[in-house]
Amino acid sequence: MIIDISRPVGADTPVWPGDPPVTLEPVARLEAGDPAAVSRLTLGTHTGTHVDPPAHFLPGGATVDQLDLDVLVGPALVVDLTATVGPVDPEALAALATGHSRLLLRTGAADGVVTGGAARRLVEAGVRLVGVDTLSIEPATRSPGVPGWPPEEHYEVHRLLLSAGVVIVEGLDLSAAPAGEYQLVCLPLRVAGGDGAPARAVLIPGGRPQ
C-alpha cells in the first residue's frame, strides 16, 4: 500500500504569509469546443508539500534542481510527536534510535515546529532529511519583500539544517502514516535554479535504517 503524504494543490491550499496564493485558470476547455483541456497554474515555489534546498536561505547554496535525489528517496522513519506540547525540542527527540538518515516528524499541531536545539541534535545524529507536517519548520511569519520581514536570526533552524546539508521537507500530510519505518519517495519539481519546489511525496510501508 502506498501512502500519499503530499497535500492537494488548489485555491484552498494554505500558504506562508505573504507567499503567492494558488490560482488555477482555465485556458482551454472541452465543453467550450476546444480539442483539449488546458489550465494555467500559478503558485509559489514553497506551496503545499515542498522541498527547501540550501539556496532557500544560504547565498550560493545548492538549488532544488541540484539536490542529490538519493537523499529524497530511501528508508525513512515517521516519528509520532502528537503528544508533545509546543515546539519539538531536543528532549522530544531523545528516544530516537540512531541510524535513521531521514526523519518525518508527525506533530499534528500548528506549533509543532523544531527548536534550534532540536535542529542541532538532528545534525549531530547525521540526519540528511527532515520533514514536518507544518507549513514551515519554524513559526509562521512574513515572507521576503513583505513589510516586517524578521531579522536573519529568526531563521536559526533553517540555517542550521541547510548549512549542514540537511534537506527540509515542509507541508507533509502524515495523518495516515503511523509511526514506523517506510520507504520515502519525495520528488520536487525540477525548477532550474529554484529556491524550492512543490513535491509529490509518498511512503511505502517497510524499510530499514540507512
Q: Give the Cα separation of 112 and 86 in Å (integer).
A: 6
Q: What is the Cβ-side half-sphere exposure of residue 109, based on CA atoms within 13 angstroms?
A: 15
Cα torsion 152, 156, 162, 168 to 10°: value is -110
Q: How far apart are the first and last CA of the chain?
A: 21
Task: Give the active site residue among 46, 50, 56, 100.
Answer: 56
* Paired strand residues for 41: 24
Is 56 catalytic? The answer is: yes
Distance, CA of 18 to chain centre: 18
From residue 36, how far is each of 23, 25, 29, 40 by CA, in Å? 20, 15, 6, 13
Q: Give the 3-state secondary structure of 43-95.
A: CCCCCCCEEECHHHCCCCCCCHHHCCHHHHEEEEEEEECCCCCCCECHHHHCC
Q: Which residues are catalytic?
A: 56
